[in-house]
Structure 1
Amino acid sequence: MTNTAFDEQGAAGAVAAHSGIRTILQWLESPMAPHPAEELPSLRAQVKAWHEVGGSPQQRALALNGLYERSSSVVAALLPELTELLLPIPRKSRRLVRSVLDLLQMLADDTLEMVEGVAPHDTSDRHQAPDLALWRSLRALAQQLMISHLIASPAPTGAWQQLHQTYALARSLHLEATIPRGQTRKLQHIYQAAILLGCAQPASLTAREVVFLAAYLERFAGQIEPLSAEAAAAAAPGTFWVDPTRDAPALPYSRKLAPSTAPLEYFSCAGLGLLLKTQIAQLNAGTSAEEIGLPELASTPAGVGVLRRLAGRWSDFGKRRFHRRRQGYRAVLGTGIEGLWHLCKEGDTAAVELSSWMITNESPDGYAIRHVSGKISTVSVGNVVAVRTGDEKNWQICLVRWAVSENPEDLELGLQILAPKAVPAILARPGDGEGTEHLRVLVLPEIPSLRPSQLLIVASGALTQNSGKLLLVIEDENLVVREVKSIGIDEQTGSVDILAIQPDATHF
């Protein structure tokens, strides 16, 4: 009697499990919601249900395959929207991001679960193939990290460690160099691209630049060079180390010495740095990004600027020039070329929105600041800002180097001081049609022993690389017209181009 009851209960459980899997498969055949954000709740519910229902291994693999592909489509459709978010991310948008991160975490866990109990090179069932399961788990974790970079937020707890351990499992099964069926990249390239994006100081990138570099690094991740501990000890520029047991990204050898007892992995970005310089030279010579296999953004000044900064970071030691000192005093901030132009020209009478910040530390070449109050919608990495502290009369001109936002009420910025003041000017240039176009620009004075030339700050892409003579109109006590010429690019970001200039006929 007991056996009969047990059999009936087991049969009922099997029917329920089969019904659960069938429900998921039927849902996968339904059309997606009009907006990908509307799809997320039901998609997460189905992924959670998959983890709880039974079914044969083949049925579960088929259902998970459909859920993964549908999730990939939803995340891809949401990326453009996430890329356009301004810091700090509003609560509603942050809830959306958290939902995406949770979905990717479930997928990373569930696809990894499919590796258990299957021979490493068994591809008889393409939905259960271990190389594909590991590839998908790595990909979900890499996307989770990239989206955290997009919103300038710390990575989810455990994400880096899980990425390292999943790749270690792939290596133990000798699958790291495998390209799963239907994919175009090796498992090691997915892992290496995520590691390299962490090495690129993502807090110093805009969301658009993060997406661009993620695509670039996935394409060229194979250029990094593994090193032995002895070779890494030379601490050449672009050398990094990874501790697979820690929940942390790769760290530069020049900034932090590797512990001698941990099982570390070492690699060099020197070869990738040389490739970057070659590609930059090709782009500057007029070669299109498509011709050399680069993402579309590489054809813009902002894209070239990102590649140039990355090549520079991986070509020198990147040590700090000055020590930072902790502080705790207030500062006022103005943002953008237009705002700074009016501040420098009109002073306190300028009709410019200002915000209040707390300086948390400082050095001779910059500040770290935390937002206190006021609108900050135009603050972004790569933009110029003006800072005034205490009773100072002049506005210091700074470049936003990095941004971190752990919650909607918090935003921290790292500022590099470009000059103690700026001269507002009008740049006259030929327009697309007849007549002359006038742009508001800023002229920064030279700084003896640090910078021998003046700098010109213009909106990104406002001038072509081959711009010859530039005509500047400066209105002070008198109206002054100056001819200058660009002698090189000092910095390019998604917001501004900073050119080194010198007088062409007369002097400032």
Structure 2
Amino acid sequence: MSLTLTVPAIDPVEDLTVETRPKHLKEWLDDLPLTNLSDVCRTLDDEIGAMNRQKVAMETRLKLLELYRSVIFKLLPAMEEQYVATRLPQPGKNRQMAEQARQLLMELANGYKIILLDYQNARITLGKGKIAVTAAQRAMSALSRILMICYQTYAPAPAGIWFEIHQIFRFAIEQDIANETITDEESESSSNLVYKQTLLLALSNPYHLSPGEVAWIQNYLTAFGGLAQLQAFAHTGNSIGLFLAETHSDKPPKPLPQDLNEVDNRSDILLNTLELVHALHHHIARLNDGELPKNMQLPFVAKETSYRDLLKSLLKNWSAAPKRVFNRTQNISSTQVCIGLPSLHHFLGGRESGASTDLTSIQTANNQRFISSRWLVINEGAGGLALCGTFESLPQIRPGDVIGLKADEANQWNVGAVRWVKSDKADQLEIGTQLIAPKAEPARIKPSIASPAETFQAALLLPEILMLRQPETLIAPRGTFGPQRELLLELDGHTTQAIRAVKLVEQTAGYERFEFSRG
């Protein structure tokens, strides 16, 4: 196959200011001041961009890029601290840092892509195979890291990025270099491994993840992503754990379709996750039994419930695709939205948008002003809505937040949860919501054994649904639930009763929902 990659045009006029001597570049990089992160990123971007537009022998270009890459990957953790969103929208400087990181990685990828094109067009490649091995792995690694930043900032993937990742992997396969390993930071890697890790991260439902979870998954894949297997298409009666990579497309992987006529067996590749899923199941079981994470090559944070919950969601996403019971339908309408548990608690109490509420009795030091806003409904299904909003000042939001939904002309607020978030523009958000309950009663809650200074927190009482045999549940802030924990529940602003937490139904970044017993 002939590689089709987007790279900068070579300047016909030589630029003598561009450093093309590896020894001198290393000295310059060693002396580069790293105090101002934004400035150093801009400088590196300019230098790599200028080199990418000069004619340089591919052996020399590879040495130069490896020096630049070493510095960039040392800077990325500090950059990540600034752009990983706790909630959207990001402040301007955080958004700018994410854009700088993406641009820097794109210039780095461009350099390695130029090497691949030069290698492809070279008349003599004997003895230069290691150059192609390194360039292919490095180009895919940089493009994969760009996708990771998109997931971390809930931004859409750049057009063409999946096409190039697929192209480079197919090139590595055809050159018989896909499985050749090279050192990548502190471990060994290959084009095959990077490709599998990139596919698996895309299949983790990344726009549904809470901030920080993308990095947890990437770390897990660094250790265990190699357990997944890539294979040529073959007819199978069981599609569990099989996903399709359409290598001629600009698309991420997807579950193997039931209609196999959609598969191009000349170019499409299957990702088999069964061995990885088996290991994942084993890790969850051992963590639940109290085994130390370090005994399984897992990070210390694996002791946390949130990490185990993430592993459970990966088990679902990497085993088989969730089936939608009802199809979504295109819809053009709008709905009122309020975001966050305190906000929905406020409106369920019958208060107006913009009203100031004294919440000192429910763990707030200052008066808060709660706002509901109108969002456009862009898709609707039996279980939830996809919404789009454009605002001068965007609301703070993240996956896992409680959300209130009230249709036009309706009198009652529905209770929902934010499942995914995307933000392509500074003034626009798209969110996916899931309906939890058609109604709720505002409540307040606190531990029955607490310090005198501890105050009630906002909570929601969801009614029993007899038809579904679903008992009444409470939605409360994270950290409220504990098995058999005794709590005080206040309703109507007056009646207080003792309850006992019984069963955790759901835990997200924004709330816990649990069953309880009274008395």
If the length of structure 1 is used for normalisation, what is the TM-score? Answer: 0.85
Taking the TM superposition and a 5 Å limit, the aligned residue runs for 1:290-301 are: 290-301=294-305
1:227 CA drift (Å): 4.9
Equivalence for 2:379: 361
- The question of whether the paired residues in 1 share the 8 Å contact of 2:338 and 2:371 is answered with yes
> What residue identity is the alignment partner of 2:31?
S
1:240 CA drift (Å): 1.0
Cα distance, 1:96–1:311 mapped onto 2, change above 3 Å:
same
Q: 1:139 aligns with which of 130, 137, 141?
A: 141
Equivalence for 2:21: 21
- Say which SS state the counterpart of residue 421 (structure 1) adopts: coil
- The question of whether the paired residues in 2 share the 8 Å contact of 1:149 and 1:210 is answered with yes
- The question of whether the paired residues in 1 share the 8 Å contact of 2:444 and 2:490 is answered with yes
> What residue identity is the alignment partner of 1:140?
A
Task: Please give the per-residue CA displacement for 1:360-405, whole angstroms capped at 9, x wherever unaligned.
Answer: 2222211111114475443111111111122322211101111122
1:301 CA drift (Å): 2.9
Distance 1:447 1:386 in 2: 19
Q: Does 1:311 align with 2:329?
A: no
Q: 2:460 aligns with which of 428, 434, 442?
A: 442
1:120 CA drift (Å): 7.9
Taking the TM superposition and a 5 Å limit, the aligned residue runs for 1:437-476 are: 438-450=456-468, 452-464=470-482, 467-476=483-492
Distance 1:191 1:441 in 2: 44
Cα distance, 1:255–1:379 mapped onto 2, change above 3 Å:
farther
> What residue identity is the alignment partner of 2:510?
S
Q: Does 1:252 align with 2:255?
A: yes
1:267 CA drift (Å): 2.1
Equivalence for 1:195: 199
Cα distance, 1:258–1:27 mapped onto 2, change above 3 Å:
farther
Task: Please give the per-residue CA displacement for 1:115-150, whole angstroms capped at 9, x wherever unaligned.
Answer: 525858768xxxx64333322112101101111112
RMSD of equivalent CA atoms: 3.1
Task: Please give the per-residue CA displacement for 1:53-101, whole angstroms capped at 9, x wherever unaligned.
Answer: 4566554433222111112222232011111364234555444333322
Q: Does 1:158 align with 2:121?
A: no
Q: Does 1:68 align with 2:69?
A: yes
Distance 1:352 1:504 in 2: 31
Equivalence for 1:267: 271
> What residue identity is the alignment partner of 1:28?
L
If the length of structure 2 is used for normalisation, what is the TM-score? Answer: 0.83
- The question of whether the paired residues in 1 share the 8 Å contact of 2:115 and 2:132 is answered with yes
Equivalence for 1:492: 507
Q: 1:224 aligns with which of 216, 225, 228?
A: 228
- The question of whether the paired residues in 2 share the 8 Å contact of 1:485 and 1:504 is answered with no
Q: Does 1:331 align with 2:349?
A: no
Distance 1:461 1:290 in 2: 25
Any stretches of 5+ residues in structure 1 without a counterpart?
A: 1-12
Taking the TM superposition and a 5 Å limit, the aligned residue runs for 1:13-412 are: 16=16, 20-21=20-21, 24-53=25-54, 59-84=60-85, 86-89=87-90, 92-115=93-116, 116=119, 129-181=131-183, 183=185, 184-187=187-190, 188-227=192-231, 229-231=233-235, 233-234=236-237, 236-254=239-257, 259-261=262-264, 263-348=267-352, 351-373=369-391, 376-412=394-430
Cα distance, 1:399–1:18 mapped onto 2, change above 3 Å:
closer
- The question of whether the paired residues in 1 share the 8 Å contact of 2:394 and 2:428 is answered with no
Cα distance, 1:85–1:452 mapped onto 2, change above 3 Å:
closer
- The question of whether the paired residues in 2 share the 8 Å contact of 1:304 and 1:492 is answered with no
Equivalence for 1:8: none
- Say which SS state the counterpart of residue 284 (structure 2) adopts: helix
> What residue identity is the alignment partner of 2:146?
Q
Distance 2:276 2:513 in 1: 25
- Say which SS state the counterpart of residue 188 (structure 2) adopts: coil
Any stretches of 5+ residues in structure 2 without a counterpart?
A: 1-12, 358-368
Equivalence for 2:9: none
> What residue identity is the alignment partner of 1:173?
Q
> What residue identity is the alignment partner of 1:111?
Y
> What residue identity is the alignment partner of 2:168?
T
* Total equivalences in the alignment: 484
Task: Please give the per-residue CA displacement for 1:317-351, whole angstroms capped at 9, x wherever unaligned.
Answer: 41111122322222221122222222223443654
- The question of whether the paired residues in 2 share the 8 Å contact of 1:401 and 1:414 is answered with yes
Cα distance, 1:410–1:455 mapped onto 2, change above 3 Å:
same
Distance 1:272 1:56 in 2: 41
Equivalence for 1:10: none
Report which stretch shifted further, 88-97 or 77-86: 88-97
Taking the TM superposition and a 5 Å limit, the aligned residue runs for 1:421-436 are: 421-429=439-447
1:244 CA drift (Å): 0.8
Report which stretch shifted further, 155-164 or 53-62: 53-62
